């Protein structure tokens, strides 16, 4: 199964590199990478928010003196 996926992926790469002019390559990569990066950034943000809420200061701690 992985061999079939690898062969398919190699064909897609060759199609992008050899079959499309650069502006279309760029547009295609941005159409895939931008949403992917936004989703990954959102997941990292959620994980950091969760961790900071879970391991942050408790409600019983006194506030710092200003």
The token pair at 11 is 């064909």
Q: Whole-angstrom distance between the N-terminal and C-terminal Cα of the chain?
A: 63
- Give the pLDDT of residue 52: 87
List all residues 6 or more positions away from 27 whose beta carbon is below 8 Å from its beta carbon.
none
Q: How confident is the prediction along the chain (66 residues), in pLDDT tens digits per residue?
A: 778 888 888 888 887 777 888 888 889 889 989 999 999 999 999 999 999 888 877 777 677 777
Domain spans of the chain, in order of start:
21-54
Largest Cα–Cα separation, the chain: 65
- Give the pLDDT of residue 39: 97
């Amino acid at each position: 199964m992985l061999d079939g996926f690898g062969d398919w992926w190699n064909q897609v790469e060759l199609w992008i590199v050899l079959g499309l002019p650069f502006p279309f390559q760029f547009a295609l990569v941005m159409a895939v990478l931008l949403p992917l990066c936004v989703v990954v950034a959102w997941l990292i943000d959620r994980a950091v928010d969760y961790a900071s809420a879970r391991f942050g200061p408790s409600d019983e701690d006194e506030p710092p003196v200003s």
